[in-house]
Amino acid sequence: MIDMLSNLPDEVDVLVVGMGPGGSGAAKRCAELGLRVIGVEKRAEIGAPKRCGEAISRHGMTERIGIEPKGPWIVQEVHGAIVYAPNGTSIKVDYDGPEGWVVERKVFDKHLASLAAEAGARVIAKTEASGFRRENGRVKVTLKSGNESKEVTSKIIIAADGVESKVAREMGINTFNKLPDICAGVQYEMAGIKHTGNMIEFFFGNDTAPGGYIWIFPKGRGVANVGIGIRKPWAKKTALEYLDDFVQSRPELKDASIIEVNSGGVPVGGFLTDAVDDNLIVVGDAAHHVNPIHGGGIPEAYMAGRLAAETASEALKARDFSKGFLKRYDKAWNDQRGTRLKKILKLREVIETMSDDDLNWLAEYLKGDDLVEFSRGGSGLVKLGKILMKKPRLIKLARKLL
Ligand SMILES: Cc1cc2nc3c(=O)[nH]c(=O)nc-3n(C[C@H](O)[C@H](O)[C@H](O)COP(=O)(O)OP(=O)(O)OC[C@H]3O[C@@H](n4cnc5c(N)ncnc54)[C@H](O)[C@@H]3O)c2cc1C
């Protein structure tokens, strides 16, 4: 195998650690802005194995990621959603055309990485970054690929190393997630399902998926991602046990085949308000940049990566890599995305305290468009507050939204 590391420069402007969506967004934008950038990914194949339901909304794809939804990475157009209350009452959101897509992450993530490479970033798989140490206003990092290793010096590190991020912690930021702030996810990719269609489905209930929900995201030809996210202290069993119970209870799933098993945590407790330090910017799951109501984080990570690159470029112009200067990234995130995500978190905190009876009652009042508004953190929150005011027991909760 070629010696991947020896060809690398000894010094760069930005080293991006992790080439998931956050890393690719950062590396691409850095390259576009003329920065010398390397993006390293410790896994042998970017995007694999996936830990993801692979669904992305139109807003996410075209605005936050900013790409045309065209290419071999799209496996299914999504024309709407069906949300099920605990008693089976359903709320439908129906669109004429695609309002989202289910992608094949291992193709999609590689596509995003190749866009970064095309823009001029140097991308290297099967290469792990470790041993971060600050020296003379720069950071020295050890890159390891198999038996090879190389020391690289970078002015700025963009930590895009996912939910288990060690880079930020090693460089001085506490990224710890408290137990209730982590959604434990397990997913089967299933084949041989009778009807998959073009709607994504969500199932709620304190016995079905406490503190979270179950999803069925179709991938065409009878294939779908069937997964669950749950949280402590609500959950009484493991995520896998809840998922198995659900699969066994569904006629369309119980005889289907499992062709892939995935698991992973989603940091849904709200993003880090302090995601920078000297020479360091943290993006994506590593900074808990996730929509706290549905756990989607691909577009959030990509957008955060882009904002991080823009801040890095400004820092290079100013020759200032201090925490004080890089703080403008926190502000940009907060202005462009954070304010909305905070609203969404507030909504989730209200919903998660509701009993199944309350949820069944609420489902009678809601329409599909309301759910879309909730997931986007729009004016729907006030509407929800007004509905909750109708039930004396929920007035206290309603006040949190009004
Ligand atoms: C079960 C489940 C279902 C989900 N479903 C959806 C969904 O349907 N839609 C959606 O939008 N989001 C979904 N998400 C969330 C989504 O997967 C993440 O938010 C997204 O991948 C975050 O991107 P990222 O770039 O921040 O991190 P990641 O995609 O996790 O990428 C981080 C990368 O860093 C690499 N890395 C770590 N340490 C190092 C190191 N030291 N050196 C080099 N490389 C390193 C890792 O190998 C990894 O590839 C789901 C998550 C889970 C767990």
Contact 282, 165 (CB under 8 A): yes
Residue 52 alpha carbon to ligand 1 centre in Å: 8
Q: Supply the residue whose CA is at minimum distance from atom 19 of ligand 1.
A: 297
Residue 40 alpha carbon to ligand 1 centre in Å: 14
pLDDT for 96 equals 84
Q: Supply the residue whose CA is at minimum distance from atom 8 of ligand 1.
A: 53
Order the strands of the 100-103 sheet from edge to edge.
55-57, 100-103, 74-78
Q: Is the pTM of this model over 0.85?
A: yes
Q: What span, in angstroms and rounded, lies between the C-alpha atoms of 204 and 85?
A: 5
Q: Which fold has domain 11-49+107-177+270-340?
A: FAD/NAD(P)-binding domain (3.50.50)
pLDDT for 248 equals 97
Q: Which atom of ligand 1 is nearest to the CA of 109?
A: 29
Residue 289 alpha carbon to ligand 1 centre in Å: 11
Mutate to test the pocket of ligand 1, among 50, 51, 101, 171 (most ligand atoms within 8 A of CB): 51
What are the tokens at 320?
């200032």
Q: Which H or E element spans position 86?
A: none
Instruction: Evaluate: CB of 56 within 6 angstroms of ligand 1.
Output: yes
Q: Supply the residue whose CA is at minimum distance from atom 53 of ligand 1.
A: 264
Q: What span, in angstroms and rounded, lies between the C-alpha atoms of 211 and 398?
A: 19
38: which strand partners?
A: 15, 122
**154: closest CA among 131, 174, 175, 172?**
131
Q: How far is CA 59 from the centre of its chain?
A: 14
Q: Supply the residue whose CA is at minimum distance from atom 37 of ligand 1.
A: 161
pLDDT for 398 equals 80
Q: Which amino acid is at 209?
A: A
pLDDT for 156 equals 98
Instruction: Evaluate: CB of 189 within 6 angstroms of ligand 1.
Output: no
Residue 187 alpha carbon to ligand 1 centre in Å: 14
For residue 149, with 0-12 CB atoms within 10 Å meaning exposed, 13-18 middle and 19 or more buried, which class applies? middle
Instruction: Evaluate: CB of 26 within 6 angstroms of ligand 1.
Output: no
What are the tokens at 361?
């009652």
Contact 321, 156 (CB under 8 A): yes
Q: Which amino acid is at 187?
A: Q
Residue 319 alpha carbon to ligand 1 centre in Å: 31
Residue 159 alpha carbon to ligand 1 centre in Å: 12
Q: What span, in angstroms and rounded, lies between the C-alpha atoms of 67 and 114?
A: 13
Instruction: Evaluate: CB of 267 within 6 angstroms of ligand 1.
Output: no
Other C-beta atoms within 10 Å of 378: how many?
15
**351: closest CA among 401, 288, 291, 402?**
401
Q: Which fold has domain 76-101+179-267?
A: D-Amino Acid Oxidase; Chain A, domain 2 (3.30.9)
What are the tokens at 218?
């179709």
14: which strand partners?
A: 37, 156
Instruction: Evaluate: CB of 284 within 6 angstroms of ligand 1.
Output: yes
Instruction: Evaluate: CB of 51 within 6 angstroms of ligand 1.
Output: yes
Q: What span, in angstroms and rounded, lies between the C-alpha atoms of 60 and 67?
A: 9
Contact 260, 197 (CB under 8 A): no
Residue 10 alpha carbon to ligand 1 centre in Å: 28
Q: What span, in angstroms and rounded, lies between the C-alpha atoms of 280 and 323?
A: 8
pLDDT for 121 equals 98
Q: Supply the residue whose CA is at minimum distance from atom 38 of ligand 1.
A: 161
Mutate to test the pocket of ligand 1, among 24, 144, 298 (most ligand atoms within 8 A of CB): 298
pLDDT for 1 equals 63
**For the chain, domain boundaries:** 11-49+107-177+270-340, 76-101+179-267, 346-401
Could you read off the pLDDT tens digit of each residue along the chain, which spans 402 residues? 667 888 899 999 999 999 999 999 999 999 999 999 999 999 999 999 999 999 999 999 999 999 999 999 999 999 999 999 999 999 999 888 899 999 999 999 999 999 999 999 999 999 999 999 999 999 999 999 999 999 999 999 999 999 999 999 999 999 988 888 999 999 999 999 987 799 999 999 999 999 999 999 999 999 999 999 999 888 999 999 999 999 999 999 999 999 999 999 999 999 999 999 999 999 999 999 999 999 999 999 999 999 999 999 999 999 999 999 999 999 999 999 999 899 889 888 888 888 999 899 988 888 888 887 777 777 677 888 888 888 888 888 888 777
Measured on CA atoms in the order 393, 398, 400, 402, is the torsion positive or negative? negative
Q: How far is CA 201 from the centre of its chain?
A: 19
